[in-house]
Amino acid sequence: SVVTFISHDGEKREAPLEEGASLMQIAVDNMVPGIDGDCGGEAACGTCHVIVEDQWIAEVGRSGPVEEEMLAMNPEREPTSRLSCQMRVSESWDGLVVRLPEFQM
């Protein structure tokens, strides 16, 4: 199974989905540009921001309260924004597509 990250300038990068890992970890392991994960996955830095494609948000779920505190500080967030470190990957996410925001290039 695979996840696709689309950079702000449209470049697609696929990475293998690993059940139980965080999406941030998968991005970092596969050197996806724009996902830094500076805080190591503590929902404290905001450098792992992704925008989930609309058709995936029901499956993946929206941001929780801790995540929301960090996202709320970012005026450029979108309704389907998530911190990828807070996204625990499930096998049912095969084919997931997320976009990277412009401010994170």
- What is the nearest approach in angstroms of ligand FES to the Cβ of residue 19? 19
Environment class of 94 (CB within 10 Å of its CB; exposed 0-12, middle 13-18, buried 19+)? exposed
- What is the nearest approach in angstroms of ligand FES to the Cβ of residue 87? 9
Q: How far is CA 42 from CA 7, 9, 79, 86, 102, in A?
A: 23, 28, 21, 8, 22
Using DSSP's 3-state secondary structure scheme, residue 3 falls into strand
Residues 34-63 binding ligand FES (CB under 6 A) are: 37-39, 41-48
β strands within the chain, DSSP E:
2-6, 12-16, 49-52, 81-83, 97-99
Residue among 42 and 91 whose Cβ is closer to ligand FES: 42
Residue among 4 and 47 whose Cβ is closer to ligand FES: 47
Tokens of 5: 């990250």
State the number of binding residues for ligand FES (CB under 6 A): 15
According to the binding rule CB under 6 A, does residue 83 interact with ligand FES? yes
Q: Contact with ligand FES (CB under 6 A): which of 3, 23, 85, 87?
A: 85
Q: Can you give the binding site for ligand FES, defined by CB under 6 A?
A: 24, 37-39, 41-48, 70, 83, 85
